[in-house]
A = this chain, B = another copy of it.
Amino acid sequence: MPSHDPICVPPSITDPASFGFHSCPGGICAAQGISAAGIHAGFRADPNRKDLALVAADATCACAATFTKNQFCAAPVQVSRERAATGRARAVILNSGNANASTGEPGVRCALASAKLVADALGCAEQEVLVASTGVIGVQMPLEPYITGVPEAVSALAPTAEAAHDAARAVMTTDTVSKEVSLEGTIGHDEPITVHVGGFVKGSGMIMPNMATMLCVLATDAPLTAEAAQCALSAAVSQTFNKVTVDSDTSTNDTCILLATGAAGGPAIGVDSPDFPALSAAIRCACENLARKIAADGEGATKLVTVDVVGAATDEDADTVARSIANSPLVKTAIFGHDANWGRVAGAAGKCGVPFDQYQVDIDFLGVPVLRAGLPLPMDEQDMLRRFEEPEIAIAVNLGVGDCSARIWTCDLTHDYVTINGDYRT
């Protein structure tokens, strides 16, 4: 007789207290040595809508980044990928309203020119300025908004929570809320040092990141080396932003950048430092916080959905099955309709080519065991309807093959998704 206990899933690291950190105010400017600004520069027609964000360190500092693996990568991705590889940066200039993707050589020239405007205004080398864009694909990017906007953004730079919020708002497209995070903790074995990790992200549609999400800028004042920053960021991104899917569409512009100013003081932190694990956990926690906010604010979404797959032969198998469920339009519309149609979860799990024996599979839907060893259990429809009132929906599948697992965050598929994307350009 198979157990009817709920499926046991791995713990989340959503709670920063688990590694000695706590939430704090400030957004990306929580990190000492970071200033930000967000203004209207003219990429969008609406003068009340901010569309240019600037994040600058007080001095050139360590940086790390991950970018989209889409073959149609945007011009700013091509520019920033090469520059971030040096491990040093001073500033990031971001815009919304135009993705500068599928724009050929003219697009690359515009991205380079925009970075030069920032470098000239800040008095740093061009190579130290990274660029990121989001918006419509296939339309040439105008330089004019940068020419007037960059000086204005540089003047507006401030190390405040308000400036951080302006920057976060300036990169929003179909996002309904700005998405920020800031954490504070103490590291240092001999001499305690207070450090911060802050950041913001935009992302709501064209979200199934592959190495990064739409646009994300993080900063820490911890004295991470570039190598340690990249190591922590890559590990965090693979388990957070790369585990989110709104609509299975990987963007041409995914960019995630981490600046490490070192303004908190103390000796440099490399990957072998005793402080690295806590900082790495803080960076992952910040990314997970923002990743969940992306899924919850998925275009048209009414629910944040967490899909756990356990009992898989490999992590890759678990990821494939979880992603197959999370991307299934039938699963997503059933959640929107408050229909406990868990058979669609079974169908999505079975379609993706991962081998398993259907007579060994358990499924929990909204925390309720509905399938054990391939046999359906009686289900209380009224109880299910009550559980659908919660803002978060949990789906768990045990494949009964091995010990590996994966968690994917997604959202439901609604009329508003169709409305938003049926007339995005108009």
Interface residue ranges, A against B (CB under 8 Å): 69-73, 99, 101-105, 136-140, 205-206, 208, 210, 247-252, 327-330, 333-334, 336-337, 339, 341-344, 346-351, 353-359, 361, 370-371, 373-376, 413-415, 417-426
Please give me the residue from chain B that is nearest to A106 by CB atom.
B375
Q: How far is the CB of A373 from chain B (nearest CB, A)?
A: 8
Across the interface, do B422 and A346 meet the contact criterion of CB distance under 8 Å?
no
Across the interface, do B206 and A422 meet the contact criterion of CB distance under 8 Å?
no
Please give me the residue from chain B that is nearest to A328 by CB atom.
B249
Given A336-B418, A337-B422, also A351-B413 (CB < 8 A): no
Considering the chains assembled together, what is the distance between the CA atoms of A252 and B358 in angstroms? 11
Across the interface, do B348 and A136 meet the contact criterion of CB distance under 8 Å?
no
A137 interface neighbour in B347, B357, B413, B419, Cβ under 8 Å: B347
Across the interface, do B103 and A376 meet the contact criterion of CB distance under 8 Å?
yes
Please give me the residue from chain B that is nearest to A372 by CB atom.
B104
Please give me the residue from chain B that is nearest to A247 by CB atom.
B329
Which residues of chain B have C-beta atoms less than 8 A from A249's C-beta?
A: 328-330, 344, 347-348, 351
Q: How far is the CB of A422 from chain B (nearest CB, A)?
A: 3
Q: How far is the CB of A376 from chain B (nearest CB, A)?
A: 5
Q: How far is the CB of A352 from chain B (nearest CB, A)?
A: 8
Which residues of chain B have C-beta atoms less than 8 A from A414's C-beta?
A: 418
Considering the chains assembled together, what is the distance between the CA atoms of A16 and B70 in angstroms? 40
Across the interface, do A138 and B346 meet the contact criterion of CB distance under 8 Å?
yes
27 contacts between A and B (CB under 8 A): A70-B347, A70-B350, A71-B350, A71-B358, A72-B346, A72-B349, A72-B350, A73-B350, A99-B343, A101-B343, A102-B371, A137-B341, A138-B341, A138-B342, A140-B376, A206-B330, A206-B347, A247-B330, A249-B328, A249-B347, A249-B351, A250-B347, A329-B421, A333-B422, A336-B422, A337-B421, A337-B424
Which residues of chain B have C-beta atoms less than 8 A from A426's C-beta?
A: 337, 339
Considering the chains assembled together, what is the distance between the CA atoms of A376 and B101 in angstroms? 10
Considering the chains assembled together, what is the distance between the CA atoms of A248 and B353 in angstroms? 13
Across the interface, do A349 and B421 meet the contact criterion of CB distance under 8 Å?
no
Which residues of chain B have C-beta atoms less than 8 A from A139's C-beta?
A: 343, 376
Considering the chains assembled together, what is the distance between the CA atoms of A102 and B327 in angstroms? 20
Which residues of chain B have C-beta atoms less than 8 A from A339's C-beta?
A: 422-426
Across the interface, do A417 and B329 meet the contact criterion of CB distance under 8 Å?
yes
Considering the chains assembled together, what is the distance between the CA atoms of A266 and B355 in angstroms? 45
Please give me the residue from chain B that is nearest to A253 by CB atom.
B347
Q: How far is the CB of A420 from chain B (nearest CB, A)?
A: 8
Please give me the residue from chain B that is nearest to A210 by CB atom.
B351
Across the interface, do A72 and B358 meet the contact criterion of CB distance under 8 Å?
yes
Across the interface, do B138 and A356 meet the contact criterion of CB distance under 8 Å?
no
Given A421-B330, A422-B337, also A347-B101 (CB < 8 A): yes
Given A104-B374, A138-B371, A413-B418, also A205-B347 (CB < 8 A): no
Which residues of chain B have C-beta atoms less than 8 A from A327's C-beta?
A: 248
Across the interface, do B330 and A376 meet the contact criterion of CB distance under 8 Å?
no
